[in-house]
């Protein structure tokens, strides 16, 4: 499989689709492509990139969806390595996991 460079603003519907972004990431695994093959998952990533780490209930509120409908999408993004759990926030009776975007390591970077 050829490695193709994906630019987040282009994939995630960023504001300026004519310029190359400052920090592109390399989507070089089939799991990345499968994870990015969903408008809902793209919306989740766009929200986390623009707003920073947050919980599924907050993501759901921002996207106008029910939290229950997003957990499967968050799990797919976690397994693909595009999200990480960044912490836990107390919310009423339970604590809610907080998630943030994590750009995959480039196979071309040193280190």
Reading the chain (111 residues) residue by residue, the pLDDT tens digits are 344 444 444 344 444 444 555 555 666 678 888 888 899 998 998 899 888 999 999 999 999 999 999 999 999 999 998 999 999 988 777 888 999 988 766 555 444
pLDDT score at 92: 76
Please give the span between the terminal C-alpha atoms of the chain, in angstroms, as a whole number: 23
pLDDT score at 105: 63
Closest CA to 80 of 101, 98, 66: 101
56-80 burial, b at 16+ Cβ within 10 Å, e below that, comes to: bebbbeebebebeebeebbebbbeb
pLDDT score at 46: 86
């Amino acid at each position: 499989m050829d490695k193709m460079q994906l630019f987040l603003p282009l994939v995630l519907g960023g504001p300026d689709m004519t310029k190359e972004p400052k920090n592109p990431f390399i989507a070089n695994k089939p799991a990345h492509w499968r994870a990015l093959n969903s408008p809902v998952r793209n919306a989740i990533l766009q929200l986390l990139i623009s707003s920073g780490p947050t919980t599924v209930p907050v993501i759901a509120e921002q996207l106008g969806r029910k939290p229950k409908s997003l957990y499967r999408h968050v799990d797919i993004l976690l397994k693909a390595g595009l999200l990480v759990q960044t912490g836990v926030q107390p919310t009423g009776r339970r604590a809610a996991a907080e998630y943030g975007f994590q750009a995959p390591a480039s196979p071309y970077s040193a280190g």
